[in-house]
Structure 1
């Protein structure tokens, strides 16, 4: 849905991040859920370098996204996405069994899959060359690849984790998008699974909206802020 300045839902996001992080900041998954549910929203953009002091009263860790809808205020992308999913059967099945499975996969994405992927990303992107990272990396790779193999086995030849796309798939695809095929072995079925998620019109709309909100590197530098 196009963003509307008078929309009742407000999503707080960063106005700028380095190019390598664009398309991976976690307000993307919130935008994607809103697009899947057909809900209008507006964005409040804050600096990733110099966060407003009062923002920590809304988000204790200073991260994005933050979500506000009337009196409802949420932080943590997983909690926000689950809140949005409850609004629409397209994301959260209404039958008890389907709902339980969707929630289970959503939590699995956040607890069993994403932490290992992000740990490996930290090693490769931010700690490369450090001795502890060199020693830790083989075990980190084995752990992630083991989880990916088990996930691939659970997915099998299905297009989605259950009978249809749910919030569980949204969060799982988002977690898997942080994988780098040049740094570890990714099962082909998971590569195809991520591609199906990224091909959804709602994902494309969310990605375009996030990219449109970022100001340029030149604009950041012209303000005298070092990236």
Structure 2
């Protein structure tokens, strides 16, 4: 049965390239699994959406009879049994780094991103930048002497961590962290990321075209 990935039907320009269905598309491209895309309204959350995702967010997937939400949970589910999820002790280390990405790095990045780009609160963004930079420096130190987080190969932990680094990198926060910048570039230079991003952006372009046709 074909996996179905659910994302929003449309979003404005700013979040495009960062809506988290991209993470799922990337992993699916890495493992070569086919999928279909379904949508839920972004403006008015439907009862069906809330029944599947109580916080009215995306992405969600249907994999056979299983319905899952939260990008981290989806990535872990899809990575099982593939090259992106090692076995034995390296599996435990991969899980460790997935949870570290979600709990120890992303909250610092998100608070700063919201202050700077959504609220446009320069004072808050400046205050939040210092702890974010500290976390980024700590991550670079943990990567010292290796290309990837676990097992000398690209895993689901690297996919998630490097996706989180894209906005800080674009904002220049990795400019003085050459090792971390190289790590992020190494991950997002993978062909699967390029294919996933192309499909992700094509989805929004098609949504724009539908809106234009409807307005006409």
TM-score past 0.5 threshold: yes
**TM-score, normalising length: structure 2:** 0.90
> 2:85 matched to 1:92?
yes
Which stretch of the first structure deviates more once superposed, 13-22 or 195-204?
13-22
> CA 1:76/1:19 → structure 2, altered by over 3 Å: closer, same or farther?
same
Corresponding residue number in structure 1 for 2:147: 159
* More deviation, 156-165/69-78: 156-165
- Closer, same or farther in 2 for the Cα pair 1:126/1:183, shift >3 Å? farther
Partner of 2:135: 147
Query: TM-score, normalised on structure 1?
Result: 0.86
Considering only aligned residues, what root-mean-square deviation do their CA atoms show, in Å?
1.9
Change (3 A) 1:40 1:185: closer
SS across alignment from 1:99: helix
Is 1:191 the equivalent of 2:184?
no
Structure 2 unaligned segments of length 5 or more: list them: none
**Aligned residue in 1 for 2:23:** 29
Of residues 117, 126, 130 in structure 2, which corresponds to 1:125? 117
**1:155-186 deviation line (CA, Å, top 9, x unaligned):** 11322112111111011001111215546455
Residue 16 of structure 1 corresponds to 10
User: Could you tell me which residue of structure 1 aligns to residue 166 of structure 2?
Assistant: 177
SS across alignment from 2:62:
strand
Distance 1:166 1:53 in 2: 36
Residues 1:216 and 1:44: Cα distance change in structure 2 (over 3 Å): closer
> Which structure 1 segments of 5+ residues have no match?
1-6
| Deviation per residue, 1:49-97 (Å, 9 max, x gap) | 2333221000111111011111111000000000001131x10012x11
Q: Secondary structure at 1:17's aligned position in 2?
A: coil
- Structure-1 separation of matches of 2:203 and 2:40: 11
1:115 aligns with 2:103: no
Shift of residue 138, structure 1, vs aligned partner: 3.4
- 1:73 equivalent in alignment to 2:67: yes
Distance 2:48 2:148 in 1: 41
CA distance in 1 between partners of 2:35 and 2:171 (Å): 36
Provide the aligned length of Structure 1 versus Structure 2: 212
